Amino acid sequence: MLNLKSDDGVLVLGLWGQGGIGKTTLAKALYNDIYGLFDGSCYLANVREASKDYKGLVSLQEKLLSDILLLQHPLHNIDRGINLIQDRLCYKKVLLILDDVNHLDQLNALAGETKWFGNGSRIIITTQDKRLLTCYEIKQVHMHEIKPMDRNQAYELLSKHASPTHQKLKIKTKLVNGVLDYANGLPLALEVLGSFLRCRSEDEWESTLDKISAAPNKDINNVLKISYEGLEENEKKIFLHIACFFKKWEIEHVKKILDSCDLKATIGLKILIERSLIRIERNLLQMHDLTQLMGMDFVNQENSDPGRRSRLWMYDDVLHVLSHDMGDCVVEAIMLKPLEPTEIYIDSNAFTKMRRLRLLILQNVNNSFQGPIFFPNELRWLEWGGCTYQSLEFSSGEKKLVGLDLSNCSITMVPNQLKGFQQLKYIKLSYCNSLDSGPDLSCAPNLEELYIFDCKNLLGIHESVANHDKLRVLSLSRCNEFSVFPMLQSKNLQRLLIEECSKLERFPDIPRKLEGLKVLHISASAVKQIPTSIENLCSLKSMNLSHCKNLTSLPSNIYNLQNIESLAIVHCSNFIEFPKYEELIGPPMKFKLSNLRDLTLSSCNLSEVGFLDGLSCFPFLRSLRLDGNNITSLPTSICKRDHLSSLYLHDCPQLQEIPELPPSIDYLDAQECSYPQLNGHLTSIDRWVRRALIQGRSCTCWLSHWQGRDEMPKWFQPFKDGSISFMTSKNLYDKFLGLVFYFSGFYNTSMCPEVFIQAYFNGERRGSYFKEHWIPIGIGMLYYCHPSELWDAVDFGQIDGSYAQLKIGIGDWWFQSGFRIICKPLEEDLKIEIQDHQLIDLAFLYEVGHDSIDPKAETSHMQNDSLIGIDLPKNLQGSSHTKEGSSIEINPNLQDCQRSTEEHSQRGSKRKREFTPPQDKRIKRMVASNWTNGDETEMGLTQQLESLRL
């Protein structure tokens, strides 16, 4: 990453991560490792603390100049220091480390611009704030996040500090694991705890674990809290909310809650991420365990009395405050979520004193007190799952409630029928089996989201729902008795989801244009037909009608939905015909359904697909699914659909042929089709694969029992155990046209086959490419990997070196597998090696001349030659193998190659004209069944140093 061999320009490297993660340790190690390569060097430690006053930055400037120039330069102000740094260092190759930077002013004073330093200089910045690096305009590729150690590295570091001999710890595994779990890969915690536990008994280890689980270690906290103390008040509140309540919660839901509490969630979460205090993983909020403990400790330190703390989440604390009416006006948020249903006593006035209470979340909590519970009007978000009250009470006057979730409750009506709830935006009512009708929303004019599902006795919804002006999302799911939906007129509704309502037989009319609705899902209902007024959903982008077994067809004016992008009709057994476009439908226009990209008509009862004939309909279709139907053929015009990239035809037993495919196709699934009839039509697939090679893209084809048999085509080089490696000169980058892989008959359908391609230059690994597919038993798959897909991960073009190696790795989870290299005519310096004393199969190197890949000549070329179905001499089919790990080099001369070719020809085999035998080349193949094991390990300090140096 530092590219030390280059003296072009100045490179700035940013190391960022949370406190105690090892940024300073890594920066020091880098400095000690490479400082001798520069004209001068300087390590400025703890810039944050050293620059707190004005003279602090001046002192750092003086040290920078003194360390590099070996002369004292007294400075009087920052501007003088900046000028002197520019004048004296602009021609020097320097190494500068700026450790623990927390403000842009520090960078501006010490390394404001790269032109201050000479060519070949390297500047390394460590910080807890990623945004600082972004503002300094460091390229993303030069930002390196320092992540927690893996388990093995953490154990080694703990042993180093806890064991006098640095050997394996002679402590119970349970206790060691307890410390490792607590530290969670944080080097600082491992060092502090390891040093503290050094030479201590197992009883002392156990006592220490009990202590730190109750209160964080102060030495660790003092480092972690640095990032927190630099936050503004808004971000501090958000941080404490996440630490106490929302770790591992879905981020969008948390945003709604935080915004309801008058906290600016979007910018606040962004800042916390940049400060390495939180992270987002799979849309969930995550926080290091020790950072979370620090936040919880901050709240616990507010007051010894739980009733006078801002946040309550511990069971005993919540029980104490609610049961004894001990809550004070400082309480802002309460959450109690026991794993099992729990009954506690909550006084009717338990919340009345909590005038600042904004957030109340109770799950699996039932109140043994049978009287009414009064909530403060200042409450912004209320979730009470499992509540047995039939109604909840609020004080008179305007309520500030924004979110209401009463899932799994015995409620029969929403609180006060929502009178005075002017700010309410979110309602969720799930598993409320006593609820027979939806709420009247006329008194909640700002409601945006309404979720009602699994309410088994719900008969219908109030007409105010279908007419609401602000409602954006309406979800009705698994309400078995729901049968009547009022006329739809909500002009701002964006998502309407009606799923698994088995008694809903009629979709409502849409009397006027609704420009807001984008998503319409009516799945698993009893709907028989879609009204013609569907065309009034003029902005609709996605429609799903899956599992509607009574649905027979769509109205012909479906073609007027000009903005629809995705249409899915799946497992509708009575759906027998997709309407054909008629010129008289709607206003005249050049294209119909011009935005449709994905059309899914799977497992219906279609016998013909005449609607595909009209090229003026869905001209930009990318994915077409016709699997599980009774179709016998596809229209020949399908070859003119130039944007179609994926075609699914599997389980179409009546399909007789596959016509010529469009050049844009890169995925074909034709499993479980009638292959005795299809064998004669595989030339269209041949042409499709050739086009992929010419057009610079990858493609995939799945066929049951490839070419009507279980055997792998002979023109593939078979994989056996492990991998195949090729030693070659660097110009493979220019000559390589792609790899073709074949897989067949996956043994274990719970796993995915893998292809690994690793590149080595002068023996040094520089990149990897990985691909995986799920392949059912009895299925053959052809996958063509274009170079552009490989070079994204493995950059040949920027590597200096005399030779390169490609290692192709394949697992052993399928019956048969093979591969084939495709390349341009090889130059004399392209060295290739094989393990045997034989020439490699002619099918192994598939050379294509420059004229062979001319797009203009492609059509005629494909008529004569077929990539699929190439017949080879029997003695060239398959390959011989030696013992694992063996390799023998041979250097066949041109005459040997020609003589071998002539012998094959005399025996009656004609070599295809696009095949060229290797000329004065060496070929090598090495087999190693475990080559993928052990190559990949998490980087420790040594590995990180090496990767940064590179």
- Whether residues 804 and 846 share a domain: the answer is yes
Please report the pLDDT score of residue 647 as a whole number.
93
Contacts of 23 (CB under 8 A, 6+ apart): 15, 16, 17, 99, 100, 126, 127, 146
CA distance 200 to 163: 10
Asked if residue 849 and residue 760 are part of one domain, the reply reads: yes
CA distance 832 to 29: 40
Q: Is the pLDDT of residue 783 over 60?
A: yes
Is 946 within a domain?
A: no
CA distance 281 to 252: 13
Copy the structure tokens of residue 624: 């077409």
Least confident interval from 348-357, 533-542, 909-918: 909-918
* pLDDT tens by residue, 170-195: 888 899 999 999 999 999 999 889 88
pLDDT above 60 for 829: no
pTM above 0.95, yes or no: no
DSSP 8-state secondary structure symbol assigned to residue 722: S
Question: What pLDDT sits at residue 352?
Answer: 83
Q: Are 90 and 155 members of one domain?
A: no
Within-domain flag for 514: no
The pLDDT of residue 638: 92
Do 757 and 867 have their domain in common?
Answer: yes
Domain span at residue 575? 546-681
Q: Is residue 376 part of a domain?
A: no
**DSSP states of 676-697:** HHHGGGTHHHHHHHHHHHHHT-
Cβ proximity of 621 and 641 under 8 Å: yes
Residue 119 maps to a domain: yes
- Are residues 569 and 651 part of one domain? yes
For 429-455, what is each residue's pLDDT tens digit? 988 888 888 888 888 899 999 999 999
**pLDDT-based confidence at residue 775 (cuts at 50, 70, 90):** very low
User: Which position has the token pair 């090495």?
Assistant: 926
Q: How many domains does one find in the chain?
A: 5
- 532: tokens are 């013609």
Q: 699 or 728: which carries more pLDDT confidence? A: 699
Q: How far apart (Å, rounded) are the C-alpha atoms in residues 529 and 551?
A: 6
- What is the three-class DSSP state of 104? helix
- Choose among 781, 777, 691, 789: nearest CA to 738: 789
Last residue of a domain, one of 681, 707, 738: 681
Q: What is the DSSP code (8-state) at residue 22? A: S
Half-sphere exposure of 421 toward its Cβ, with a 13 Å CA cutoff?
29
On whether the CB atoms of residues 423 and 446 are closer than 8 A, the answer is yes
| CATH number, domain with residue 282 | 1.10.10
Q: What is the pLDDT of residue 340?
A: 84
In this prediction, residues 201-218 reach a mean pLDDT of 87
* Angle at the Cα of 693 from the Cα atoms of 687 and 694, rounded to 5 degrees: 90
pLDDT at position 403, please? 96
How far apart are alpha carbons 21 and 100 in whole angstroms?
12
DSSP string, 288-315: -HHHHHHHHHHHHTT-SSGGGSSEE-SH
Give the three-class secondary structure for 319: helix
The residue ranges of DSSP E strands in 654-753, in sequence order, are 667-670, 699-704, 717-718, 723-728, 736-746
Whose tokens are 């087999």? That residue is 927
**Nearest of 266, 136, 3, 220 to residue 800 by alpha carbon:** 3
3-state helix, strand, coil in the chain (%, to 5): 30, 20, 50
- Name the strand (E) or helix (H) holding 32: helix 23-34
Cα–Cα distance for residue pair 233/236, rounded to 1 Å: 5
pLDDT tens across 270-326, in order?
999 988 899 998 899 999 988 999 999 999 999 999 999 999 999 999 988 988 888
What's the sign of the alpha-carbon dihedral 848, 850, 854, 858?
negative
In the prediction, which pLDDT does 224 show? 87
Q: Bigger pLDDT: 811 or 269?
A: 269
Identify the residue with better confidence: 533 or 345: 533
Long-range CB pairs of 859-868 (<8 Å, 24+ gap) are: 861/690, 862/686, 862/687, 862/690, 865/912, 865/913, 865/914, 866/683, 866/686, 867/686, 867/689, 867/690, 868/682, 868/683, 868/685, 868/686, 868/689, 868/707, 868/713, 868/782
Minimal CA–CA distance to 245: which of 354, 327, 361?
Answer: 361
Give 493 or 852, the one with higher predicted confidence. Answer: 493
Mean pLDDT, rounded, for 687-708: 59
At a CB cut-off of 8 Å and minimum separation 6, what does 924 contact?
Answer: 725, 726, 727, 832, 833, 834, 835, 887, 888, 889
CA distance 148 to 291: 13
The gap between the terminal CA atoms of the chain, to the nearest Å, is: 5
Q: Which two tokens stand for residue 22?
A: 């090892």
Q: Which two tokens stand for residue 194?
A: 């390891």
Residues 847 and 749 in one domain: yes
Which residues does 211 contact at the CB level (< 8 Å), separation at least 6?
A: none
Domain boundary pick from 107, 128, 145:
145
pLDDT of residue 138: 84
User: Is residue 864 very low, low, confident or very high in pLDDT (cuts 50, 70, 90)?
Assistant: very low
**In terms of Cα–Cα distance, which of 160, 124, 122, 128 is closest to 146?**
128
Does residue 475 lie within any of the structural domains? no
Give me the helices (H) in 119-243, please. Answer: 130-135, 151-162, 173-183, 187-197, 202-214, 218-229, 233-241
Q: What is the mean pLDDT of the chain?
A: 77
What pLDDT is recorded for position 650? 87
Coil, strand, or helix at residue 215?
coil
User: Do 141 and 238 share a domain, yes or no?
Assistant: no
239 belongs to a structural domain:
yes
* 158 and 253 assigned to the same domain: no
Residue 144: strand, helix, or coil: strand
pLDDT given at position 889: 27
Same domain, 704 and 626: no
| DSSP 8-state code for residue 928 | -
Residue 203 and residue 140 share a domain: no
Nearest to 131 by CA among 324, 276, 295, 341: 276
Cβ contacts of 845 within 8 Å, gap of 6 or more: 821, 823, 826, 832, 916, 918
pLDDT at 920 exceeding the cut of 90: no
CA distance 648 to 655: 12
Among positive and negative, which fits the CA dihedral 640, 641, 645, 647? Answer: negative
% pLDDT > 70, the chain: 70
Residue 797 resides in a domain: yes
Same domain, 625 and 655: yes
CATH number of the domain to which 78 belongs: 3.40.50.300
* Domain presence at residue 335: no
Residue 124 in tokens: 């390394």
Cα 633 to Cα 658: distance, rounded to the nearest angstrom:
7
- Report the distance separating Cα 107 and Cα 720, nearest Å: 56
Question: Could you tell me what percent of the chain has a pLDDT over 90?
Answer: 41
pLDDT band at 840 (very low <50, low <70, confident <90, very high): very low
Question: Residue 386: its pLDDT value, please?
Answer: 78
Three-class secondary structure of residue 443 per DSSP: helix
Give the pLDDT confidence of 659-693 residue by residue, as tens digits.
888 888 888 888 777 654 444 445 555 565 566 65
Letter for the amino acid at 744?
Answer: S
The answer to whether 687 and 667 are in contact (CB under 8 A) is no
pLDDT digit string (tens) for 582-628? 754 555 557 889 999 999 999 999 999 999 988 889 999 999 999 99
pLDDT tens-digit readout, 109-145: 999 999 999 999 999 999 999 999 989 888 877 899 9
Q: Are both 712 and 853 inside the same structural domain?
A: yes
Decide: 479 and 452 in contact? Cβ < 8 Å: yes
Instruction: Please give the pLDDT value at position 665.
Output: 85
Cβ density class 86-101: b for 16+ within 10 Å, e for less:
eebbeebbbbbbbbbb
Residue-wise pLDDT for 47-90, tens only, equals 998 988 768 899 999 999 999 998 888 898 999 999 999 999 99
- Highest mean pLDDT pick, 490-504, 711-725, 735-749, 813-827: 490-504
Mean of pLDDT values over 819-847: 48
Q: Among the listed ranges 392-401, 510-519, 862-871, which one has the minimum average pLDDT value? A: 862-871
**pLDDT greater at residue 569 or residue 415:** 569
Residue finishing a domain among 276, 300, 324: 300
Residue 292 CA: distances (Å) to CA of 182, 706, 708: 11, 56, 60
Q: What does residue 14 show for φ and ψ, rounded to 5 degrees?
A: -110, 125
Residue pair 101/47 in contact by the 8 Å Cβ criterion: yes
932 pLDDT above the threshold of 60: no
pLDDT at res. 851: 38
Question: What's the pLDDT score for residue 226?
Answer: 85
Confidence of residue 653 (pLDDT cuts 50, 70, 90): confident
How many Å is the maximal CA-CA distance in the chain? 102
pLDDT on residue 830: 44
Calpha distance 209→211 (Å, rounded): 5
Residues facing residue 426 across a β-bridge: 403, 449
Give residue for tokens 């030339």.
Answer: 683
